[in-house]
Structures are given as C-alpha cells and as structure tokens.
Amino acid sequence: MNFSAVIVAAGSGERAGPGEAKQWRMVGGKPVARWSLEALLAAGAREVVVVIPMDHQDRAATVFAGLPNWTTTTGGATRAQSTLAGLRALGERGTQIVLIHDAARPFLTRPTIEALLAALAQTPGAVPVLPMADTLKRLEPGAGNVSTAPRDSLWRAQTPQAFRFDDLVRAYDAWPDGETPTDDAQVMERAGGGITLTPGDPMLMKLTYPEDFAMAETLAGATRVTRIGQGFDAHRFGPGDEVWLCGVRVSHNQGLIGHSDADAGLHALTDALLGAIGEGDIGDHFPPTDPQWKGAPSSVFLTHAAKLVAARGARVINIDVTLICERPKIKPHREAMRARIAELLHLPVDAVSVKATTTEAMGFTGRGEGLAAQAVASIEIPS
C-alpha cells in the first residue's frame, strides 16, 4: 500500500536536559530523527515531510544527508500545529494514506507499519498500543487520598498513527478552537472517525527525559546487526596522462581503461556496499553495455549504492580500501582520497581508510600492466 508520512520533530525537548534538541541528539551513533526517517523509507514511504523548528534547515540537511524522498517544513507552537503544517506540505503533492510519527520514538520497525496500513482497510485511523502492565494509582489533588484506578480497558498509545489523509484533514478542520489534542487519534475520535488498535512495540519507547537516552543506547545495540561487504576491481593501463582513484584525479603517464572513469577504488567500494545489503554488483546497476555510463564519474555509482543502503534503514559504519599497484604513488594523495570518500558517504574521515600496497613485482600489477583495488565496508542494518 502506498503511503506518505509526517515526522513531527519541531519541539525543543527541554525535559531531555541540557544540550541539543532531542531529535538531533545521537543514539546508537545516529541522530534520533534519522532513525525514524530511515525506518519509514525502508518500509516504502513514497515521501516524508519532517516538521522542524524554525531555522533548523541546515541541521536537518546534515542529519538526513544521503536519504531520498524527504522534505522539511517549519512547525508551530504545539504538536497539533506542527502536524497540520506537515499535512499541508503533503497535501500540495497529494496522498491517500498518511502516517504521523514522533521523531522521539526512534526504534520503529516494518511490522508495526505494516499492521497499521492493514488496519486502514477497516477504519479511517489506526494506532499502535500496548496494554497497561502496571497498577495505576490516582492521587486526589490537595487531599492526599490515593485510590487504585481500573486498567482493564486502558492502553498506552504510540506512534506512528495511520490515517486516510482526507479524513484526518477534515477531522482537524472540525477540531474546536482553543483546545489542544494530545495525539492525532483524538482528533479523529472527536470527529466520529473509527480507530483500530494494532499491536504496539515495547521497543518503540518515547525519549523524553535524560535517563531515556541511556536506555535507548542499550536498545540501539539490540535492534541492529552488523554486516560486512567486500569488493574487488582491476583495470588495465592505457593511453592517457591521469588516473582517477578513490574520487581523486592523479597525474600519471598513463590512463586506466574502462567504460566509466575506471576508478578501481570507488568501483571496489561500491561493490562492497552492494554486497553488504545483498544487492548484486556494480554491473547489475550500471551495465557496461549502457552508453549513458561511458566516461561517467564513479562517484555516481558509489552514491547510488549509499542510497540503497540508506533506503534499507542501514548506515555505513566504516570502510577500508586497499589500492594495489607499483605506480602511481598513492601516499601523496591518500588524505585527499579519504576526504573525498568521507564526503561522498557522509562519514567522518576517521571512518575511512585508504591504503596502498604492491605485489613485489609479481603479477599484472607488479609488471605495471594495470592496478587493482579491494574494499571492505561494514554497515549497521535493522535486524
């Protein structure tokens, strides 16, 4: 089922303690809001609007770099106003199903989303919920009297909450001025729209207080697995006065022969990323028989592989490239190569390694007939 989504990330997160707004803080080595965007895209969202505070566009661009199909809009003073801002942004493009999600719930999974979408076949809205496990106590204000509240029919509501887009917009239009809903399902309920309750996920906790972030760090390790991919490529020397290696132009008395720019380093790295997510090899995505890739910069291939990784809800942890050649000399260009790969993959430079070695004059690289490259990439991906 096609759907779009709104991620509400416009709050200041003051209860989370001092520091950056909680949607931009790091959990499991990744900004909180990026977890949600990656999960929605991986589940098939055709477009996601992220509602952010005013003047946070640059921060959002950094946090979501490399991910496709997202835009931002500025939120309002309340969550309801921010949701409306996101709906208006989506409404300009048209959508039938919309999921509204709090950025502060990072551990969203595909089964939760699929259950919500399936429920919309029955009702205009669906909400993931958890049963109340704890006994509830009510303290009467001012009196100090404590009573036990029944919990049989009570549920803990989570997000994302799913709706038929037009029904939710009409419900918000009918919401009384001067009142503030606690969630989007309440707006639908007030308008008379039915709500289906779907199974929630205990992992889908909301980050509110400082201690929540410590728990989230522990959970982050339990929700993701590490995968390793490797790649290898080789090209022959031919006429020319330069070679491209790891995205850097290197002057040389020969060139490398290939359909694209013959950058063996980026080709090997592209295959390593594709291998880590089981997406074949570079030839599957960019056939050498296709004339549009003749002379193409290999950065196009690498960024394509990186987008596929991101679309799976995964992130690159680190990469390691080894260039195998007698010449040209790699060391003078190594730091530029590291910087270029870091730029293309939106990684810190210390997560990128570029090394060089020779084969002690043995084989085709030893005879100077060409050069080779091998690469290893590690990623984290939802389990």
Considering the domain architecture, whether residues 309 and 168 belong to the same structural domain is answered as no
149 and 252, same domain (yes or no): no
Is residue 31 domain-shared with residue 67, that is, in the same domain? yes
Within-domain flag for 213: no
Q: Are strands 47-52 and 70-74 parallel, antiparallel or unpaired?
A: parallel
Residues 153 and 195 in one domain: yes
Q: Give Cβ neighbours of residue 125 (< 8 Å, ≥ 6 apart).
A: 161, 162, 163, 164, 167, 168, 184, 185, 188, 193, 194, 195, 196
Please write the tens of the pLDDT for every residue from 92-127: 666 799 999 999 999 999 999 999 999 999 899 999
Partner residues linked to 233 by β-bridges? 373
pLDDT value of residue 300? 96
pLDDT for the residue numbered 67:
92
CA distance 358 to 323: 8
Rounded Cα distance between 42 and 68, Å, is 11
Let me know: does 104 contact 33? Beta carbons within 8 Å. Answer: no
Indicate whether 255 belongs to any domain.
Answer: yes
Q: Identify whether residues 58 and 27 lie together within a single domain.
A: yes
Is 215 among the domain residues? Answer: no
pTM to 2 decimal places: 0.64
Rounded distance, CA 188 to CA 163, Å?
Answer: 9
Do 358 and 246 lie in one domain? The reply is yes
Query: Which of 162, 181, 208 is a domain's end point?
Result: 208
Last residue of a domain, one of 157, 173, 208: 208
Please indicate, yes or no, whether residues 41 and 180 belong to a single structural domain of this protein: yes
Which pLDDT value is given to residue 94? Answer: 66
Q: Is residue 278 part of a domain?
A: yes
Residue 374 burial (10 A CB sphere; 0-12, 13-18, 19+): buried
Q: 253 and 201, same structural domain?
A: no
Helix H segments across the chain? Answer: 32-42, 57-63, 79-91, 110-119, 165-174, 184-190, 210-223, 264-276, 282-285, 299-311, 334-345, 363-366
Which residues in the chain land under pLDDT 70? 13-14, 16-18, 92-94, 142-144
| Number of residues in the chain | 383
Q: Is residue 217 part of a domain?
A: no
Q: CA 350 to CA 188: how far, in whole Å?
A: 49
Partners of 73 in the beta sheet?
51
The pLDDT value given to residue 310: 82
Boundary (domain end) residue, out of 208, 232, 253: 208
Q: Check if the beta carbon of residue 306 is closer than 8 Å to that of residue 64.
A: no
* 107 and 229 together in one domain: no
The CA-atom distances, in angstroms, between 185 and each of 47, 131, 266 are: 21, 17, 48
Residues 200 and 105 in one domain: yes
pLDDT at 143: 63
Q: Are residues 249 and 164 in the same domain?
A: no
Segment 120-168, tens digit of pLDDT? 998 999 999 999 989 988 887 766 688 888 888 899 999 999 999 999 9
Q: What is the pLDDT of residue 152?
A: 84
Number of domains making up the chain: 2
